[in-house]
Chains A and B, each alone.
Chain A
Amino acid sequence: MTSLKETASDLVHLARDEGAKDVVVEAFDRSIQLVRFSNSEVDSTLSWSEKHAHVFAAVGKRTLVTDIRDLGAAAEGVKALVRAVKNAPENKEYGGIASGRFKYKPGRPDPAIVSLKDPAKHVRDAIGSAHRAGADNVGGTLYVRHEVTGIASSGGALASDESASMELSVRAFSQPEASGHSVSVTPRLVALRAKETGARAGELSVMAKNPVQGEQGKFDIIVEPLFLGSIMHFSTRMMSAVIVDIGMSMYARRIGKKVASAGVTIADDPLMRSSSRRAFDHEGAPTRRNIVVKDGVLRTYLHNTSTAKKYRTKTTGNTGPFVPTLFTVPSQPVAFHPVVEPGDWDPEEMISETEHGLYFNNTWYTRFQNYATGEFSTIPRDTILRIEGGEVVGAVKNIRISDNMMSFWKSVDALSKDSQEVFWWDEASPPATLPTVRARQMNVTRSA
């Protein structure tokens, strides 16, 4: 059987023979199983599989992309694309594709995940543990993913990659308005902590019992990795050069400037062992660890070859998918696995050294009044604990953080020494490895 890498290479040669100058072909074979659960039982099991190829072709500055969904008819698709690109209008910002003699570090999927037969067992483990911890209603998802990718380009890219991962998300309720959320995200089956994840969600739901209406005002906030994952979703998006270009980023004109407190270092690390590890970006450039914010100072945007040329730098190996996903725009460089470097605090220490604050388990629905300035609000959900005089004094509900995202990062004064890989729905995405952090004096609002 022809490998995806060979398929991609054959299609690159075909496109070149037909007259294309620059060509990238990335072929995918992915299969996903999803066990959904709600009301403490499995409600449905879903599976889907896709084999397809993204093909990018350029003749001079004329560029076109197609998604070939039937690989059996790929040759015809490529020929049609090259015919069309010769007559396409020019893309003046096109700056070429990555080229060179590349070396890659492909991943090795865990065979135990690839051959997993009964994922629902882990769901039942998680539900049982959540109940034993005090929850009375549990829901969530368990994803089992396996993906093989082959890439080839006229710039010299030729590689395969393979990954497998599992993501367990558990939300437990002990009362209708008392919930806790916990996740386990891993590329190794043995590292899936189903029982512990369920237990943690259950424990949090018990801590969240009997919440009272929260108050408005300024609070020091301590946020768990799941909450920070949502902040990172938007922050890393705004680090993309294309998002900066279209005016939707608070990081515009901030290279070399302070964008976070000195304790904050943010990297994108596609090569660390994680559920989103990948050996190459979507142009075929080898991925690498990029430090984007170092000690609070913005060092670079995330680039592909075209944006790098515009910004007179080199690609960071963050080319996004040629066919955009739900939360990307065309040509957008993307973060693959964001990391906030840990600090030296224990979360318990953060609590004991907080005079007037709130502890947050999770958040959702983060929206911006103005991406360019960072004005935003987000709605904490699941466990919210009030801290007074260094102690948790009770649970809170119905509040919103209405502040500025740059101010959030600039006011971070404590980061935990332990980090966790998190990935939840499209809120905490892409998968990221994050600590618990404390930010000072954030503005909290509520419905009148």
Chain B
Amino acid sequence: MEMSDEDVALAVLREAESKEGILLAEVRLEERDKRHMAVKEGHISSAISSHDRGMNVRVVMRSGTGFASCNSISKVDGSALLRKAHRQAKGGRRRTPVSLSPEPAVKTTWEVHQKRPLADVSTEEKLRYIQGLDRAVMKTKVKVQGRFYELKDYEIESFFANSEGSRISSFLPRVVLEAMNLVSSKGESAQSIRDWGASGGWEKVTDWALDDVLPQEMKMLKVQLDKGKSVRPGTYDLVCGPEVAGIAAHESCGHPMEADRILGREMSQAGKSFVSPDMIGDRVGSEYATVIDDPTLPGSYGYYAYDEEGVKARPRFLYKEGLINEFLHNRETASKLGVQSNGSSRSEFYLREPIVRMANTFVAPGDFEDDEIFGDVKEGVLMHSFTEWNIDDKRYNQKYVSREAYFIEDGEIAGPAKNCVLEITTPGFWGAIDAVSKKLDFVSAECGKGDPMQAMSVFTGGPMIRLRKVALR
């Protein structure tokens, strides 16, 4: 990004100083190179590229918040956005005046290093890579329909400045591969819709080893179809693999701990929360239930060093040893609840307002070995991964249906369990945990929230966790 763009941002902030009643003015400039390609049944289906640049201006006043954005960067545009955002903030007529947590001004630069820059890998090489995955899947001889693979990668160069003196430049490359497959066998089918994402260069893609992982997935689904037996409805011990632990951490811990939900700002669309502001310290799970949201995990899909309000990112212990411990905050929610922001403000891109979001949410590891987790399970199920899932808008009633599951008999993994269903409340899930393994694993995902909907890159994850006596069917 050229210096002249930064001058634009600073000129807009100088102009904001002349406006009365502004608590905070922010300007974000963003430039993004993006590539997106798709391969369907081995054939190239689409190749798209774009270069995007734009800016936004956010104005916070006691009377309200205004946010204006456009896909160009110039002093004229910046001034127009400022006027619009100021008018919007002024016209908010808030009965409960807006306030912001005091945060230090930051002047810094951060970036994610790429060993092999995404931009240096040609379209042809990327397409060959995806077609190679398809061939690897075909070699399994498993009947797989669809075989639809999308690879998206982009670099975001950003400059953030606010009226309090923060000046933050950043560079963030990200890559994600999405795979949709439908395995058929003996008149039945099973779907696999999975993502692999990271912050970094092309080396992340090779680390995923998908030419091995995807064929294994297809073979596994065929075994589930051919040999899987339904779970007889009843009460069992359940071992959740990292993918299932991760989705539960995201859905029934991360989301209900977003302070904007708790305070009602998302009440009409994404919903509210079963958690209320006075529940810090309340028990929601067993002593083994610790869930962390950490944007600073190197290479993670949800990585960032400073949030969209210029607050330094840090790990947040949401549930700690079964107790509600810390909400996810931006500056406004933090101020309302009398704490500091913990750097949870994110936006999908420059046209969208920053709101409270998760980053990388996972169950904290424990001290059990994986095989110890099964050790004293007499009759149970290992739900290794899931396909269907959902949760209500207060984040209390959730459902997970297995993609890969196995019966456990007398401490040993027995045959595959097909379409095992866990439908459970949030305290029911977190309260039933009595063992957590040492080894962490992560899955990437796109989290949806906001008006309009903003897809946000995140990790979910955890170790293996054991739940005692839960209802399965």
Contacts and interface: CB of A to CB of B under 8 A. Distances in A.
Interface residues of A, number: 85
Contacts of A46: 66-68, 88, 353
A435 B53 CA distance: 43
A412 B176 CA distance: 40
A448 B96 contact: no
A370 interface: yes
B396 interface: yes
B88 A47 contact: yes
Contacts of A137: 264, 267
B46 interface: yes
Contacts of B425: 447
Contacts of A48: 56, 68-70, 351-352
Contacts of B52: 67, 69
Interface stretch (A90-98, A311-319, A341-349): A90-98
A421 B2 CA distance: 47
Nearest to A173: B267
Interface stretch (A10-18, A268-276, A360-368): A360-368
Interface stretch (B166-174, B208-216, B449-457): B449-457
A407 interface: no
Contact of A45 (B46, B91, B265, B423): B91
Interface string B139-151: 0000001111010
A64 interface: yes
Contact of B53 (A47, A69, A90): A69
Interface in A131-145: 137, 139-141
Contacts of B390: 365-367, 377-379, 400
Interface size for chain B: under 10, 10 to 19, 20 to 34, or 35 or more residues?
35 or more
A381 interface: yes
A89 B127 contact: yes
A65 B47 contact: yes
A96 to B, nearest CB: 15
B397 A400 contact: yes
B40 A246 contact: yes
Interface stretch (A35-43, A108-116, A186-194, A386-394): A35-43
Interface string A75-104: 001000000100111111100000000000
A228 B423 CA distance: 24
Contacts of B64: 42-45
Contact of A379 (B267, B351, B392, B452): B392
Contacts of A51: 71-72
B232 interface: no
B156 interface: no
B352 to A, nearest CB: 8
A422 to B, nearest CB: 14
A355 interface: no
A373 interface: yes
B130 to A, nearest CB: 11
B258 interface: no
A330 B191 contact: no
A230 to B, nearest CB: 12
Contacts of B191: 247-248, 368-372
B279 interface: no
B115 interface: no
A426 B424 contact: no
B423 A400 contact: yes
A41 B72 contact: no
A448 B452 contact: no
B66 A88 contact: no
A41 B68 contact: no
Interface in B23-77: 36, 38, 40-41, 43-54, 56, 64-72
B209 to A, nearest CB: 24
Given A326-B453, A426-B448, A331 B268 contact: no
A91 B399 contact: no
A36 B45 contact: no
B304 to A, nearest CB: 21
Contact of A247 (B68, B70, B123, B181): B181
A2 interface: no
A175 interface: no
A444 to B, nearest CB: 11
Interface string B153-193: 00000000000000000000000000011100000011101
Given A42-B94, A48-B68, A141-B269, A34 B182 contact: no
A375 B68 contact: no
A120 B91 contact: yes
Contacts of B182: 246-248, 371-372
B44 A447 contact: no
A247 B268 contact: no
B267 A446 contact: no
Given A42-B94, A446-B423, A248 B46 contact: no
Contacts of B56: 48
Interface in B87-104: 88-89, 91-96
Interface in B379-436: 387-394, 396-399, 401, 419, 421, 423-425, 428
Given A47-B84, A425-B269, A65 B48 contact: yes
A373 B189 contact: yes
Nearest to A118: B91
A39 B151 CA distance: 41
A330 B150 contact: yes
Interface in A46-82: 46-52, 63-70, 77
B471 interface: yes
Contacts of A379: 390-393, 397
Contacts of B54: 69
A50 to B, nearest CB: 5
A379 B271 CA distance: 13
Nearest to B92: A42
A447 B432 CA distance: 14
A12 B35 CA distance: 22
Given A43-B265, A169-B268, A400-B397, A370 B70 contact: no
B88 A69 contact: no
Contacts of B452: 34, 426
A405 interface: no
A330 B264 contact: no
Nearest to B352: A48
Contact of B50 (A69, A87, A88, A365): A69
Interface of A: 34, 36-39, 41-52, 63-70, 77, 84, 87-93, 118, 120, 137, 139-141, 169-171, 173, 176-177, 181, 242, 245-248, 322-324, 326, 329-331, 364-373, 375-379, 381, 398, 400, 402, 424-426, 445-448
In the complex, the 4 A-B pairs of residues with the closest C-beta atoms, listed nearest first: A247-B182, A247-B146, A448-B471, A330-B46
Given A45-B88, A139-B265, A367-B390, 5 more contacts: A39-B263, A46-B68, A64-B48, A330-B45, A400-B397
25 contacts: A45-B88, A48-B351, A52-B71, A67-B50, A67-B52, A93-B43, A139-B265, A141-B269, A171-B267, A242-B40, A247-B145, A247-B148, A247-B180, A248-B182, A248-B193, A367-B388, A367-B390, A368-B388, A369-B419, A371-B182, A379-B391, A445-B423, A447-B397, A447-B425, A448-B423
